[in-house]
Structure 1
């Protein structure tokens, strides 16, 4: 990439190169897994300076993953980059798994260490290291917050999920949690109920679009004495039935746990997601009682080209 920087961060030099969605080089990674058959696939375009919004949207639609990340400017020496995210339907303010994938892709190109991403929600720092031959990335979210969800918000969602109120975990009340974007958090008492998820796509899409929720973060606590969870994340507003790993929701969920008073000392939460889709993913969430930011860690691996 040929870019120049300013006090406001990296900015691209003019580029008149014409490109179509079919000619743009898209890297494909699976995030939050060491196995390309697991995790959440993300597209990554490392050289997107010359692309406009419609071109980026067209690329994301062609790739077909829940999100594709675009590096629209960068300063390699300073390890600072401008990052945007698109689902097949629209731009997304923040995406955790595509951030992890982009960090791993950049670290593969320029070496491990700390990266700084300028995103639509603010600065996101990502540390990268190599463990066991694989690159692991830890993103630090923007400050999180969470507040109880009103019953009038919850009931239509339960109808769309085909769940009843008494199936929810009373110890983990419904909240709207923010970690870069908003997610409705619902905790269910039964692992079997979570595994049997079968929801009304159109109804949930309309509810989420109306309230500006990126996903509905559905969780089940594995044991009362542990903060380990199974999770599922419907994502109809992105044109995707379900996300197999959602870093942004994991960050928001960390803020949710802190808001409930469950974070009384530094701790790590394990979220197992994607298992019921056949794409198991592992997200590790580090929390501190005095810090509203949340750290989300995971690996990302290249998805092999089926044509090779």
Structure 2
């Protein structure tokens, strides 16, 4: 099947089956025809936090090379756009395994059709890693968030975690603190640019296998991501590093609820495998970022 026959920008919202939920992503199947400037312009026009561009294909091997752009520039890896692209491909060439070549390495995926007809995609991340955040990193971030040290959960210490991109993980002790997010956009963007973080992974632990998350993304020109697959993978590595994985190794992240775009990310991690599996669904939507409620800056 020739994917070039499809429209230049296809929009899916990932980690949901509700067009009003999840995190919208642009998917461009004919990315090989675009140079960097055109990809950036296309991502800006799509208005989503990220757009995935398929720039090379091997249909026989079900292997695709992807690049990702936010409205402000290229991103090495994007989990929700990966899930969106995998679902879009599965709907066109059939479910089954896929391989995506990205700037951070090979991403293996499994896609399957659920009984009600929706498609689930599971990505296996590149090897994750996690390290304690420095006092300076935490202090600068808390100041930009207008939070205090007392807001944090001492059982889940601040880390910088990697799952394709680096994310600062800050766990708060109450759901109310997470809900009342009102940060200094420009100051936090400067802190994140300085340290090379893609988003902040702000979490509250409701139960051993259930977390709530919010992910500021000022480095991409977006106030907040409604669902962040790379951060979910990084968080799995973070819990592994702390020895805090649930016995099953599986847990759920609820994200986007405070934005009115609820998202569900299912994560599986092993104490011995540095890679993490992140699963979710996606659904095609009409239009792009102007209707997502993501609050572009």
Pick the TM interval, shorter chain: over 0.9
**2:237 is the counterpart of 1:258:** no
TM normalised by structure 1 equals 0.90
For structure 1, the residue ranges without an aligned partner over 5 or more in a row are: 4-22
Q: Pick from 47, 58, 70 the counterpart of residue 30 of structure 2.
A: 47
**2:110 is the counterpart of 1:127:** yes
Deviations 1:91-129, CA, capped at 9 Å, x for gaps: 000000000000001111100000000000000001000
Deviations 1:70-105, CA, capped at 9 Å, x for gaps: 000001111000000000001000000000000001
**2:263 is the counterpart of 1:281:** yes
Q: Pick from 83, 87, 98 the counterpart of residue 66 of structure 2.
A: 83
Aligned-pair CA distance for 1:47: 1.4
**2:16 is the counterpart of 1:33:** yes
* Preserved contact between residue 209 and residue 246 of structure 2 (Cα < 8 Å): no
Aligned-pair CA distance for 1:266: 3.9
Aligned to 1:209: 193
* Preserved contact between residue 169 and residue 187 of structure 1 (Cα < 8 Å): yes
**2:153 is the counterpart of 1:177:** no
* More displaced stretch, 104-113 vs 263-272: 263-272
Aligned to 1:96: 79
* Preserved contact between residue 265 and residue 288 of structure 1 (Cα < 8 Å): no
Aligned to 2:223: 241
Aligned-pair CA distance for 1:174: 0.1
Aligned equivalents of 1:114, 1:120: Cα separation in 2: 20
Q: Secondary structure at 2:186's aligned position in 1? A: helix
* Preserved contact between residue 204 and residue 212 of structure 2 (Cα < 8 Å): yes
For structure 2, the residue ranges without an aligned partner over 5 or more in a row are: 289-297
Aligned-pair CA distance for 1:304: 2.8
Aligned equivalents of 1:204, 1:173: Cα separation in 2: 20
Aligned-pair CA distance for 1:264: 6.8
Aligned to 1:56: 39
Q: Pick from 140, 143, 148 the counterpart of residue 164 of structure 1.
A: 148
Aligned equivalents of 2:119, 2:135: Cα separation in 1: 43
Aligned-pair CA distance for 1:59: 0.2
Answer 1 or 2: which has greater helix percent.
2
Aligned-pair CA distance for 1:48: 1.1
* Preserved contact between residue 151 and residue 173 of structure 2 (Cα < 8 Å): yes
Aligned-pair CA distance for 1:267: 2.0
Distance 1:34 1:2, change over 3 A: closer
Q: Secondary structure at 2:60's aligned position in 1? A: coil
Aligned to 1:222: 206
Q: Pick from 124, 130, 146 the counterpart of residue 146 of structure 1.
A: 130
RMSD: 1.7
Aligned-pair CA distance for 1:49: 1.0
- Give runs of ≥4 in structure 1 deviating > 6 Å: none
* Preserved contact between residue 265 and residue 289 of structure 1 (Cα < 8 Å): no
Aligned-pair CA distance for 1:305: 4.8
Number of matched pairs = 286
Aligned to 2:273: 291
**2:91 is the counterpart of 1:108:** yes
Q: Pick from 238, 254, 259 the counterpart of residue 272 of structure 1.
A: 254
Structure of higher CA gyration radius: 1
Aligned equivalents of 1:265, 1:228: Cα separation in 2: 13
* Preserved contact between residue 135 and residue 300 of structure 1 (Cα < 8 Å): yes
TM normalised by structure 2 equals 0.93
